[in-house]
């Protein structure tokens, strides 16, 4: 349906914002995890996240429908916020929920 087509369009938009070395994965529902291995610092991570936020803020044309979405992005940095994927994802997830709680359509660092 339209929801599946929208998720595919979102995935394509995310991939267009990333480098070859980055990984994007849908972890359920409308939640995605992005692993950006060569991000040098918090400013660089926030720059990538803001680029993604702006791209996803543009309306999508899906099957004759114009759909607007927003996104909430949580960032966790290695090694400041964790030294393994499980801890980093946990902190990024908490930051994402903070972004949602504080008004959605924003970027929050752990």
Q: Which two tokens stand for residue 57?
A: 């803020």
Question: What does the pLDDT read at residue 65?
Answer: 95
pLDDT value at residue 64: 94
Q: What pTM does this model have?
A: 0.92
Angle at 92 between CA 86 and CA 97, to 5 degrees: 125
63 carries an active-site annotation: no
Q: For each successive 10 residues of the chain (110 residues), what is the average pLDDT?
A: 95 94 92 91 96 97 96 96 95 97 96
Q: Tell me what pLDDT residue 16 has.
A: 95
Given 22, 30, 63, 93, the catalytic residue: 30
Among candidates 102, 47, 41, 107, which has minimal Cα distance to 74? 107
Tokens coding 82: 């964790």
pLDDT at 40: 86
Tokens coding 76: 């966790």
Any bridge partners for residue 31, and if so which? 28
């Amino acid at each position: 349906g339209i929801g599946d087509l929208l998720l595919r369009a979102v995935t394509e938009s995310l991939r267009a914002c990333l480098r070859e070395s980055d990984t994007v994965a849908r972890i359920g529902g409308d939640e995605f995890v992005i692993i950006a291995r060569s991000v040098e610092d918090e400013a660089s991570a926030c720059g990538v996240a803001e680029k993604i936020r702006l791209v996803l803020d543009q309306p999508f044309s899906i099957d004759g429908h114009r759909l607007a979405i927003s996104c909430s992005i949580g960032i966790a940095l290695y090694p400041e916020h964790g030294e393994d994927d499980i801890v980093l994802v946990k902190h990024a997830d908490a930051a994402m929920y903070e972004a949602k709680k504080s008004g959605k359509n924003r970027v929050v660092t752990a």
